[in-house]
Amino acid sequence: QVQLVESGGGVVQPGGSLRFSCAASGFTFSNFGMHWVRQAPGKGLEWVAFLRNDGTSDYYADSVKGRFTISRDISKNTLYLQMDSLTVEDTAVYYCAKDGPNYGPGPYYFDYWGQGVLVTVSS
Partner 1 sequence: EVVLTQSPATLSLSPGERATLSCRASQSVYNYLAWYQQKPGQAPRLLIYDVSERATGIPARFGGSGSGTDFTLTISSLQPEDFAVYYCHQRSRWPLTFGGGTKVEIK
- Residue 27 Cβ, how far from partner 1 at the closest point, in Å? 12
In the bound state with partner 1, the residue whose beta carbon lies nearer, of 22 and 86, is 22
Which burial class, exposed, middle or buried, applies to 23 when counting CB atoms under 10 A from its CB (0-12, 13-18, 19+)?
A: middle
- Please answer whether residues 48 and 39 qualify as being in contact, where contact means their C-beta atoms are separated by less than 8 angstroms: no
Q: Which of residues 22-81 bind partner 1 (CB under 8 A)?
A: 35, 37, 44-47, 50, 59-62
Q: Is 14 in the site for partner 1 (CB under 8 A)?
A: no
88 phi and psi angles, rounded to 5 deg: -60, -25
Q: Is 116 in the site for partner 1 (CB under 8 A)?
A: yes
Using alpha carbons, list the distances in angstroms from residue 98 to 18, 36, 38. Answer: 21, 9, 14
In the bound state with partner 1, the residue whose beta carbon lies nearer, of 78 and 107, is 107
Question: DSSP secondary structure string, 6-25?
Answer: EE--EEE-TT--EEEEEEEE
In the bound state with partner 1, the residue whose beta carbon lies nearer, of 62 and 66, is 62
Which residues bind to partner 1, rule: CB under 8 A? Answer: 35, 37, 44-47, 50, 59-62, 95, 101, 107-116
